[in-house]
Amino acid sequence: MDMYARYEAAGRLLTQHTRIAVQNGRPSITWVDGGRFFYTRQIPGDKGVEKVKVVVDAATGEEWTEDACDHSDQARYEQETGRKVQNKKEALAYSPDRAYALFTEEHNLMLLDGKSKESIQLTWDGEALNEYGCYVDIYSQITVKRAGQVVAPHVLWSPDGKYFITYRADRRTCKNLYLLSSYGEAVSELRPGLWEYPCPFATDTDEEIPHYTLYVGNAEEKTIKAVDGPDFLYPLFTDEDRSWVKWLDDSSAFYFTWIKRGFQEGRLYLGSPKDGKTELLVREVTDDFLNLGAFGQVDGYGTYLFSNFVTGDQKYAFWQSEKSGYAHLYRFALEKKETDMESGTDLFRDAGETVKGLIVQKLVKVDELKKLIYFMANNVEECSDPLYYQLYVIGFDGSGLKRLTPEDGVHAVSMGEDAFVDTYSRVDLPPVTVLRRTDGSFVRELEHADVTALMNAGYQMPERFTVKAGDGTTDLCGILLRPANFEPDKTYPVIDYIYGGAQLYNVPRDFTWDNSMDREIMGGLQEFAQLGFVGIILDGRGTPGRGMEFHKYSYRNIHGCAGLEDHAACMQELKKKFPFIDLDRVGIWGNSGGGYATVSAMFKYPNLYKVGVASSGNYDQRFYEHSWTERYYGLYEEELYRQGDITALAEKLEGRLLLAYGAMDDNVTMSQTLRLCDRLNRCNKDYDLVVLPRMNHNVPSDLYFIRRKMDFFVKHLLGEEPPREFTFEV
């Protein structure tokens, strides 16, 4: 096959195509009530894919089409939690009963009375950079503005619709970063535009970083007051599911998780909506770092999801801690004023040795009537991979621990009252969706994903492997993709797709055919397979999900790139497992933290990594957003943080390096890449540079960048010429 045809084959595996090539792989479950649910079934046919809405009785498994059951007047419930879905209009944050709505005007909070249609101003001291309920995602401030999005104020309504919680974000003393938009189609846009946004660094003082003060309001009384608690120093919440603040079901109180700067102290507070007074429930202090509310898939938590909660009767608080070395739930008796970790009871204390290493992930459901907690967990002894999520149940008193999902794979569940829908898969096993009762008993299979079109497009089924880390003892998990048209007597160049951030793992565990950010699945390894490359993804030491000791490898060691040395150390073992790998032709690429890891690999292991592509990298940790760096480096220390400046090793570059950045990147400033370029220039090193004037941090989604990345590896690692004037058809 000539190279042009290989590029065409690679193009058929871009996410825009693969996401529609799997049928019934991820049924979206909507609970009509606790005992019935519906979803859309996809039926491939000669005239395309027919969509049929199926309603299922959760108790019996009986199904019928939507027309056979009128549920239009029933309340709708969301997946996993079983809470009622609240529809929000743009720029308005409605109460659950839609009797009231909140919006912002001139940085202040306004209340709209749905009955009288009157608008009441609740606050008067709001001003620029000292705003109520404003959008505070530190990683996309300009992206949202450029898109013209009108964002409703960030508000958490109480279930009864009487109270609400919001915050005032004081960023007046925070220093700014700047973006320069150098393009425009209209004559009025010929001059470059300047965008500025507040972004705190670890080098900034407590007075210079943003402070977020909680406020609680009473819609009926048209009042709002500050919560009597410490200011937050990190982003707070975006919606009910990803909030550091939660309401009790009866609206009598709210609770929130607070983290001290440096991530070595966490607290759980209970607050009264009537007067804003708070009570300290739990406090944990550590010498390392608290892995609370991190950004990705981590020990115990998903994206801004806390597994801490307070029972409705306010008798108990449950706090998630890695005190034992693994994320467990601890129970605290509130009437005894048990606040220190020594007072808490590990729910797994009497569960037996086989579950001591069990890692609690996010809560799925708390049944207070039956005093049961349903939660996802990993590091399950019976599973073939420690990162396979399973559903468990346990009693408030620690009794009755039971695994409810028996299949060896990654599980995603949607809970009803007495049953749950479970979609499970592995990277090498297409998804299967089943219905089970809450005791784990099997009811029926609902769907088996159809991956025919995906496989026909050339999708290469990944192979799982296990290798030893650089210490020679620790097992590491990874996947490998063979080239299309593989011939066992040949050797092939290999591309290591790396991330390198300590807050998430990179190896996909579930069956992967889509990427919500329009990036290539598996870092583009499916496309690279069509071009003639072996692809690998490996999680080194320092990634989450395998216990505190494993994760702690990254503590005060961000420059270790979450086990970069393990990537280099395992190559000889990989060669023994897969003799067709050519260790004289090894490349590496990554974005963001993966860009940092790629450049680090090229500088630190020049004898192994010959070609690298790095996009949007944070090459010096001293000028990146502070909450990410402080989680793993701790509070600022000049000597330690200087080790996170990989530009200092620029003189060690020997191989071929392609750098890329988006000029409108409001996550990792383009100055990071330009500073690296300046250092490479001064060291008289050759490198290539791609600038994407319109792109933000999502460089891997850009088709031009994807093509240039392919070209770079084809030319410098495969040793062939890329096809001229090739463009992807999407």
Helix (H) or strand (E) holding 630: helix 626-633
The three state secondary structure string of 98-109 is: CCEEEEEECCEE
Q: What pLDDT score was predicted for residue 637?
A: 97
Query: How many whole angstroms separate alpha carbon 12 and alpha carbon 521?
Result: 12
- Segment 138-157 mean pLDDT: 89
Residues ≥6 apart with Cβ < 8 Å to 516: none
Among 224-238, 365-379, 484-498, the minimum mean pLDDT is found in 224-238
Whole-number Cα distances in Å, 330 to 459, 547, 551, 646: 44, 16, 21, 40
> Which of the four pLDDT bands, split at 50, 70 and 90, describes residue 238?
low
* pLDDT tens per residue across span 540-577: 999 988 999 999 999 999 999 999 999 999 999 999 99
* pLDDT tens per residue across span 649-708: 999 999 999 999 999 999 999 999 999 999 999 999 999 999 999 999 999 999 999 999
Hey, where are the domains in the chain?
Answer: 85-239, 460-718
* Amino acid (1-letter code) at residue 535: G
Q: Which residue has the higher pLDDT, 90 or 486?
A: 486
- Segment 507-534 mean pLDDT: 96
- Segment 338-349 mean pLDDT: 92
> Which of the four pLDDT bands, split at 50, 70 and 90, describes residue 237?
low
Whole-number Cα distances in Å, 233 to 286, 309, 372, 401, 585: 18, 21, 33, 37, 46
Can you point out the beta strands (E) in 419-545?
419-426, 429-437, 442-448, 463-468, 475-481, 492-497, 534-538
Query: How many whole angstroms separate alpha carbon 25 and alpha carbon 521?
Result: 15
Q: Which two tokens stand for residue 150?
A: 């009108």
Closest CA to 662 of 14, 180, 296: 180
Residues ≥6 apart with Cβ < 8 Å to 444: 61, 434, 435
- Segment 15-34 mean pLDDT: 95
Segments in 477-624 forming alpha helices (H) = 525-531, 548-551, 564-569, 571-577, 593-604
Q: What pLDDT score was predicted for residue 90?
A: 60
User: In angstroms, how far is the first alpha carbon of the chain from the final one?
Assistant: 22
Query: How many whole angstroms separate alpha carbon 577 and alpha carbon 140?
Result: 42
CATH code given to domain 85-239: 2.140.10.30
Query: How many whole angstroms separate alpha carbon 634 and alpha carbon 288?
Result: 8
- Segment 377-398 mean pLDDT: 95
Q: What pLDDT score was predicted for residue 137?
A: 78
Residues ≥6 apart with Cβ < 8 Å to 423: 25, 26, 27, 411, 412, 413, 431, 432, 433
Query: How many whole angstroms separate alpha carbon 55 and alpha carbon 230?
Result: 47
CATH class of 460-718: alpha beta
> Which of the four pLDDT bands, split at 50, 70 and 90, describes residue 241?
low
> Which of the four pLDDT bands, split at 50, 70 and 90, describes residue 431?
very high
Q: What pLDDT score was predicted for residue 239?
A: 62
Query: How many whole angstroms separate alpha carbon 166 and alpha carbon 162?
Result: 14
Q: Which two tokens stand for residue 322?
A: 């890695």
* 3-state secondary structure at position 571: helix
Residues in the chain: 730
Residues ≥6 apart with Cβ < 8 Å to 236: 136, 154, 167, 212, 214, 243, 244, 245
Whole-number Cα distances in Å, 90 to 83, 153, 641: 21, 10, 42
* pLDDT tens per residue across span 270-318: 999 999 999 999 999 999 998 765 434 433 333 445 689 999 999 999 9
Residue 602 has pLDDT above 70, yes or no: yes
How do 108-113 and 119-121 pair as beta strands?
A: antiparallel
Among 532-536, 579-583, 624-628, the minimum mean pLDDT is found in 624-628
Q: What pLDDT score was predicted for residue 48?
A: 87
Q: Which two tokens stand for residue 56?
A: 């299922």
Q: What pLDDT score was predicted for residue 305?
A: 56
How many CB atoms neighbour CB 341 within 10 A? 18
478 touches 540 (CB < 8 A): no
* pLDDT tens per residue across span 67-121: 534 443 344 433 333 333 344 346 899 999 999 999 999 999 999 999 999 999 9
Residue 590 has pLDDT above 80, yes or no: yes
Query: How many whole angstroms separate alpha carbon 215 and alpha carbon 222?
Result: 13
- pTM of the full structure: 0.94
Q: Which residue has the higher pLDDT, 582 or 729?
A: 582
Query: How many whole angstroms separate alpha carbon 415 and alpha carbon 418?
Result: 8
Among 147-151, 268-272, 329-333, the minimum mean pLDDT is found in 147-151
The three state secondary structure string of 364-408 is: EEEECCCCEEEEEEECCCCCCCCCCCEEEEEECCCCCCEECCCCC
> Which of the four pLDDT bands, split at 50, 70 and 90, describes residue 235?
low
Query: How many whole angstroms separate alpha carbon 603 and alpha carbon 550?
Result: 25
Residue 83 is classified by DSSP as P
* Amino acid (1-letter code) at residue 393: V
The residues with which 530 forms a beta bridge, in sequence order, are none
Max Cα separation, the chain? 79
Q: What pLDDT score was predicted for residue 292?
A: 66
Per the prediction, the chain carries an average pLDDT of: 92
Q: What pLDDT score was predicted for residue 149?
A: 82
Residue 340 is classified by DSSP as B
